[in-house]
Structure 1
């Protein structure tokens, strides 16, 4: 994060990590440290759901996630909790 590059995490030369090298060198050690078992890809689902729950514009969400196909974000990446579903029903049936 302190580098001058365009990436949040970059290699020592400022270049981009591949998915595999990022996972092996950065992500997996963090997961082990916190005794967690997740994948970098799971963070996309979490981010998509959080942005959607914050009523962020769908176009903005697609741009952040890098999706170009219509409906991918909503069908694949956006998940709702039971509490959110109940709140939605409560809004129309007070």
Structure 2
């Protein structure tokens, strides 16, 4: 998870700083992982390239070459998200 200044949050920091407050303000009780499951399911149903999917949801992938040598542009990620 990245902040606007591109520094990374730890899961606990993000959850405690933002997530709980957002859920409380909108009256819902969900976890960040629920959004990940939904996003992955919908992107998979739309046959989005697995590398793009993993990049969007922040999962590391199959091989070191893919992780190190393949960069997914923000534009490609946005196109993928806009399919759902």
Same fold (TM over 0.5): yes
RMSD: 2.4
Task: Mark the runs of 5 or more structure 1 residues left unpaired by the alignment.
Answer: 1-6, 70-94
Q: CA deviation at 1:55?
A: 2.1
* Correspondence 1:23 to 2:36: no
Structure number with greater CO (CA < 8 Å, separation at least 6) is 2
**Aligned: 1:68 with 2:61:** yes
**Runs (5+) with no aligned partner, structure 2:** 63-84
Structure ranking higher in helix proportion:
2
Match for residue 44 of structure 1 among 36, 50, 54: 36
Structure possessing the higher radius of gyration over alpha carbons: 1
Aligned residue pairs: how many?
61
